[in-house]
Structure formats: C-alpha cells, structure tokens
C-alpha cells in the first residue's frame, strides 16, 4: 500500500513528467499509442456490434504467444505478436464459422495458446522483466523500428477498413438484408477478423496482451451507449481510445506504474460515464415517444 501511496503522490509531478517526455523512448511510445488508439477506436464499435469481445480476447492471447516466441528466437516482438494474432484470426475464422460454436472454439484455442506462451517464456533464459511486460504492457520496449512497423500496419488496417466500411457495417447491423443484397458475409467475417487481429497485435506493446480489450472493446461499448449514429459512434470511440491510450501513458510516467493500469482505468471511467449518460438518454427518448403516441 505504501508503494501505491508513493506512486500516487508522484502522479501529478509535472516536472518529472515533462522531463521524461524529452526522452525518445517516451515519444516513440506516445506515437505508438496514438496509432493504436486510432485503429482500435475505429474498429471498436464494429467489434461490439458484431459481439466479438471474446474473440478479441482470444486473439490477444495468441498475439502474446507469438510475441513470446519472437522473444525466444530474438526477432521483433511486434512481428511475433502480429504473426500470432493473424494465426488466431484465421483459426477462429476457420473453426468457428457457426455462431453457436464460436464461443467454445475461442475458449479452447485461447487457453492452449496461453499455455504455449507460458512454456515459451519459461524456455527463455534471460530478460525476465520483458516477459511480464508482454502480458501487461510496457512502453520502454518500443523502438523506432517498432513505431514504423506499428504506423505502417495501422495505416493498412485503416485504409482497408475505409474501403470495406459500408458492407462491413451493413453485415454487422443488418445481416439478413445485407445477405439478400449480395454482401458476401462469408468473406467479410474472416477479413474483419484479420483487421482486428492486426490491431490487437499492435496493442501488445502498449497495454499488453491481457488488457488490449480496454482499447479494442471498451471505447466502442461506451460510444454506442450515447449515440445511435454509426459515424458519431466511430468518432467518439476514437476520441475515447486516444484519451485512454495517451492519457494512460502520460499519467504513468512520473509514478512509474505500468501503463496498462492507467489505460484501463481511464477507459473504464469513460465507459461508466457513458453508461450513465446513455441511461438518461434512453429514458428521455422512450418518454418522448410515449408522449408522442399518447
């Protein structure tokens, strides 16, 4: 407890925070977080509408496995995470096409992936500190090469999402009519899983594999509470994700607490606030329509 009080007392030490902001590794972490916030903010409302929260979790676990493997053989952790997440997306897409099966497939795959990841970490003789950060995130590990890779991957995901956006939205919110109008649902589902997998892998560095849902799911869940417009929901979700990602890093600098603690706290705080606002909004709307029909 003393440690926590100590950390909190330093949280608003602006001098220290400012000093740390001068370091390149901090700036790189902020860039990485900004790219991640943008991508996850754009995808989150679709993830929530398609009920894919658990799939994101499963994908993140396999991204962790990939990252652990990369650490063992000595290649870029981001590349390893990307490989693991893409493998997960393909596996989940292949095994769980049927709705009623998806849930259990994810459960089976993610537990195995996590187990393999633990084994890989155990086999790794050195850098114990790095191992823990794969699960909970740590900004010091972000190199400038990583930032380039993150930025490139983020750009690819954003461009593909923009080109597919209307059919993706149609298939997510109104699958029956979308199918009737010729939208290829069977193709869009694995493609979207790949996009989500890529974005999830990017999150491993910043918030860690276990907590990536704080950026991939929570901002979208919060946004759709306060608006029914898909465009507004996307904009809000991006703002929420950026606030959580960048805000989390800034707050964690001076106290030296793991980034993910702050990112998840900010994200959850926004979610609670939006639920409260959303509750009042629905009350007002239902009262309004009741009055109109009365």
Partner 1 sequence: MDLGPGLRAGTRPGRVPEPVTIASEPQEEAVLSHLRSRKNPPTEEVAETPESPPAVSLRGARLSYGQRVLWRDLDLDVTPGEFLAVLGPNGSGKTSLLRVLLGTTPLTEGSVHIAGEPAHRGNERIGYIPQQRSLQDSLTLRGSDLVGLGLDGHRWGTGLRGRRVRAERVHDALRSVDATDYAKTPLGLLSGGEQQRLRVAQALVSDPRVLLCDEPLLSLDPSYQHRVSGLIARQARRTGASVLFVTHEINPVLPVVDRVLYLVDGRFRVGTPDEVMNSETLSELYGTEVEVARVGGKLVVAGAEAEQQHHVHEGGWT
- The residues of the shown chain that bind partner 1, judged by CB under 8 A, are 45, 48-49, 162-167, 169-170, 173-174, 176-183, 224, 228-230, 233, 282, 285-286, 289, 292-293
In the complex, least distance from residue 176 CB atom to partner 1, rounded to whole angstroms:
5
Cβ contacts of residue 33 below 8 Å, gap of 6+? 139, 206, 245, 246, 248, 249
Nearest to partner 1 of 97, 286 (CB atom): 286
In the complex, least distance from residue 181 CB atom to partner 1, rounded to whole angstroms:
4
Determine which helix (DSSP H) or strand (DSSP E) holds 281, and give its type and residue range: helix 259-293
In the complex, least distance from residue 212 CB atom to partner 1, rounded to whole angstroms:
22
Please name the residue that has the structure tokens 């059919």.
167
Nearest to partner 1 of 156, 162 (CB atom): 162
Cβ contacts of residue 245 below 8 Å, gap of 6+? 33, 34, 36, 37, 206, 207, 215, 263
Nearest to partner 1 of 107, 184 (CB atom): 184
Nearest to partner 1 of 73, 291 (CB atom): 291
Cβ contact 251:11 at 8 Å: yes
In the complex, least distance from residue 271 CB atom to partner 1, rounded to whole angstroms:
15
- Rounded distance between C-alpha atoms, residue 258 and residue 280, angstroms: 35
> Which one, of 76, 45, 91, 78, lies nearest residue 194 by Cα?
91
Nearest to partner 1 of 36, 183 (CB atom): 183
In the complex, least distance from residue 204 CB atom to partner 1, rounded to whole angstroms:
28
Residue 97 tokens, joined? 């096409």
């Amino acid at each position: 407890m003393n440690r926590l009080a100590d950390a909190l007392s330093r949280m608003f030490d602006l001098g220290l925070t400012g000093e740390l902001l001068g370091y390149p590794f901090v700036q790189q972490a902020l860039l990485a977080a900004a790219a991640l916030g943008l991508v996850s903010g754009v995808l989150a409302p679709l993830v929530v509408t398609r009920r894919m929260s658990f799939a994101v979790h499963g994908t993140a676990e396999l991204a962790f496995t990939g990252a652990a493997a990369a650490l063992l053989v000595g290649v870029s952790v981001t590349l390893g995470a990307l490989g693991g997440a893409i493998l997960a997306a393909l596996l989940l897409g292949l095994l769980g096409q049927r709705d009623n099966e998806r849930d259990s497939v994810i459960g089976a795959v993610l537990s195995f992936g996590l187990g393999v990841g633990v084994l890989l970490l155990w086999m790794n003789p050195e850098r114990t500190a790095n191992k823990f950060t794969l699960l909970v995130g740590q900004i010091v590990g972000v190199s400038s090469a990583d930032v380039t890779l993150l930025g490139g991957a983020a750009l690819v995901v954003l461009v593909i999402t923009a080109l597919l956006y209307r059919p993706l939205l149609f298939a997510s919110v109104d699958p029956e009519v979308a199918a009737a109008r010729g939208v290829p649902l069977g193709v869009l589902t694995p493609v979207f899983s790949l996009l989500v997998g890529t974005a999830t892998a990017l999150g491993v560095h910043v918030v860690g594999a276990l907590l990536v849902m704080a950026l991939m799911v929570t901002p979208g869940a919060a946004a759709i509470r306060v608006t029914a417009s898909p465009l507004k929901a996307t904009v809000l979700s991006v703002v929420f994700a950026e606030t959580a990602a960048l805000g989390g890093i800034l707050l964690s600098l001076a106290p030296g607490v793991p980034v993910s603690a702050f990112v998840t706290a900010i994200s959850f705080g926004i979610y609670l606030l939006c639920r409260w606002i959303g509750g009042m909004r629905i009350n007002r709307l239902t009262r309004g329509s009741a009055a109109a029909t009365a």
